Amino acid sequence: MKNVCFTVFTLLLGSAQAQLTVTDNLSTASIADLLEGLNVSIQAVQVNCAGTAMGHFTGGSDLGIEEGILLTTGEASSVAAPASSFTSGTSGTGSNTDLAMLSGGSINDACVLEFDCIPLGDTLLFNYVFGSEEYPEYVCTSFNDVFGHFISGPGINGPYSNNAINIALLPNSTIPVAINTVNSGVPGIGGGIGAYCEAADPNWQANSVYYEDNLGGLEVCYDGFTVLLEALCVVVPGETYHFKLAIGDGLDSAFDSGVFLEAYSFRSTGLSTGVPSHASAMHVINAADGITVLAPAGATGAELRILDASGRIAMRERITGERSFFGTQALAKGVYTAVPVGVKGLKPVRFVKE
pLDDT of 177-225, one tens digit each?
Answer: 999 999 999 999 988 999 999 999 999 999 999 999 987 667 788 999 9
| Domain co-membership, 239 together with 310 | no
Q: CB under 8 Å to 271, separation ≥6 — which residues?
A: 120, 121, 285
Report strand pairing: 228-234 vs 334-341: unpaired
Residues of the chain with pLDDT > 90: what percent?
46
In this structure, the answer to whether residues 132 and 224 fall within a common structural domain is yes
**Is residue 31 domain-resident?**
yes
Q: Work out the average pLDDT over 170-180.
A: 91
Look up the CATH number of the domain holding residue 301. Answer: 2.60.40
Give yes or no: residues 93 and 12 share one domain.
Answer: yes
Of 234, 269, 304, the last residue of a domain is 269
Task: Evaluate whether residue 102 is within a structural domain.
Answer: yes
d(CA 253, CA 38): 37
The domain of 315 spans: 283-353
**Separation of alpha carbons 231 and 144, rounded Å:** 21
Q: What is the pLDDT of residue 247?
A: 94
Where is mean pLDDT largest: 33-47, 197-211, 252-266, 290-304? 197-211
Q: Is the pLDDT of residue 118 over 50?
A: yes
For residue 304, count other CB atoms closer than 10 A to its CB: 24
Continuous H helices in the chain: 28-35, 97-103, 194-200
Phi, psi of 196, rounded to the nearest 5 degrees = -65, -45
- Evaluate whether residue 277 is within a structural domain: no
pLDDT in tens, 24-42: 888 999 999 899 888 888 9
- Answer whether residue 276 shows pLDDT above 90: no
- Angle, alpha carbons 13-19-22 (nearest 5°): 100
Q: Pick from 247, 269, 291: which residue ends a domain?
A: 269
Distance of CA 141 to the CA centre of its chain: 27
Same-domain pairing of 50 and 122:
yes
Per-residue confidence band for 13, with pLDDT thresholds at 50, 70 and 90: very low
Q: Do 259 and 287 fall into the same domain?
A: no
Q: Calculate the CA dihedral of residues 258, 264, 268, 274 and round it to 10 degrees.
A: 140
Q: 274 lies in a domain?
A: no
Phi, psi of 51, rounded to the nearest 5 degrees: -55, -30
Find the largest Cα–Cα distance for the chain. 69
Whether 54 contacts 70, CB under 8 Å:
yes
Q: Note the pLDDT of residue 104.
A: 81
**Per-residue pLDDT averaged across 282-309, rounded?**
86
Is there a domain that residue 58 lies in?
A: yes
Same domain, 49 and 132: yes
- Strands annotated E in 227-301: 228-234, 241-250, 257-262, 267-269, 283-287, 290-294
Q: Are residues 178 and 313 in the same domain?
A: no
In this prediction, residue 108 carries a pLDDT of: 85
Spatial neighbors of 8 by CB under 8 A, at least 6 apart, are: 171, 229, 230, 232
Asked whether residue 224 is domain-assigned, the answer is yes
Domain match, 161 and 265 both: yes
Q: Is the pLDDT of residue 309 over 90?
A: no
DSSP structure class, residue 36: B
Residue 163 phi, psi dihedral angles, 5° rounding = 60, 30
Q: Which of 269, 302, 331 is the last residue of a domain?
A: 269
- 137-170 pLDDT, tens digit per residue, is 999 998 888 899 999 999 999 999 999 999 999 9
pTM of the entire structure?
A: 0.75
Is a pLDDT exceeding 50 seen at residue 273?
no
Exposure string for 102-115, b = 16+ CB within 10 A, e = fewer: bbbeebbbbbbbeb
40: β partners: 119
**Do the domain assignments include residue 278?**
no
* Element housing 335 (H / E): strand 334-341
Residues 79-114 have pLDDT tens digits of: 887 655 545 455 545 668 999 888 888 888 899 999
Q: Is residue 276 part of a domain?
A: no
> For residues 244-277, b (16+ Cβ closer than 10 Å) or e, as one string?
bbbbbbbbebbbbbbbbbbbbbbbbbebbeebee
Co-location of 303 and 232 in the same domain:
no
C-alpha to C-alpha distance for 302 and 299, rounded to whole angstroms: 6
Q: Residue 295 and residue 278: Cα distance in Å, rounded?
A: 8
- Ranges 183-192, 244-253, 310-319, most confident: 183-192
Q: Are residues 337 and 249 in the same domain?
A: no
CA distance 171 to 264: 21
> Is the same domain home to 230 and 331?
no
User: How far is Cα 184 from Cα 227, in angstroms, rounded to an integer?
Assistant: 12
CB atoms inside a 10 Å sphere around CB 89: 19
Instruction: State the total domains in the chain.
Output: 2
289 and 259 assigned to the same domain: no
